[in-house]
Amino acid sequence: MEIDLNVLAYLLGKGKSYVEKAVQGTGYLPRTVLGVGTNLIDTDGNIDLLAPKPRATYEKFLKPLLFDVPCQGLDGAASCQGNGIIEGELLLKSYRDEELRCSACRAAIATQAVN
């Protein structure tokens, strides 16, 4: 799976609160994770170039934020109308708008708004 560098760049900048939240309580420092992210930007997202330790940090914190972001559903995760995961192409928008929803939930909400 290819890393969306736009999403990654967002998480290292304006969206860094998402990283901080993921790291919270784990004993890791946000700047460690952000540093790994910066390295990835420099290598165009080539995780094969990461040494084992940064690679583990990537797998633990950044990968879930890039590929496995749960949809918050219409009213909590259990009410998701899709498969529970936000599509890659909606991630940047979701982070930016702080509306973590998949396309199916967005469509459902749009329908409700019309009715």
**Residue 13 Cβ vs Zn ion, minimum distance, rounded to whole Å:** 26
- Minimum distance from residue 110 beta carbon to Zn ion (Å): 13
Identify which of residues 12 and 71 has a Cβ nearer to Zn ion in the complex: 71
Task: Kindly state the smallest distance separating residue 91's Cβ from Zn ion, in Å.
Answer: 13
The residue (of 39 and 103) whose beta carbon lies closer to Zn ion is: 103
Q: Which residue has the tokens 């998701």?
A: 80
Q: Which residues bind Zn ion (CB under 5 A)?
A: 71, 80, 82, 102, 105
Ramachandran bin of 2, using left for φ above 0, alpha for ψ from -120 to 50, beta for the remaining angles: beta
Q: How far is CA 9 from CA 6, 26, 92, 107, 113, in A?
A: 5, 23, 10, 27, 33
CB of 87 to Zn ion, least distance (A): 10
Span between the terminal Cα atoms of the chain, in Å: 39
Nearer to Zn ion, 3 or 105 (CB): 105
8 three-state secondary structure: helix
**Tokens found for residue 71:** 């949809």
Which residue's CB is nearer to Zn ion, number 18 or number 28? 18
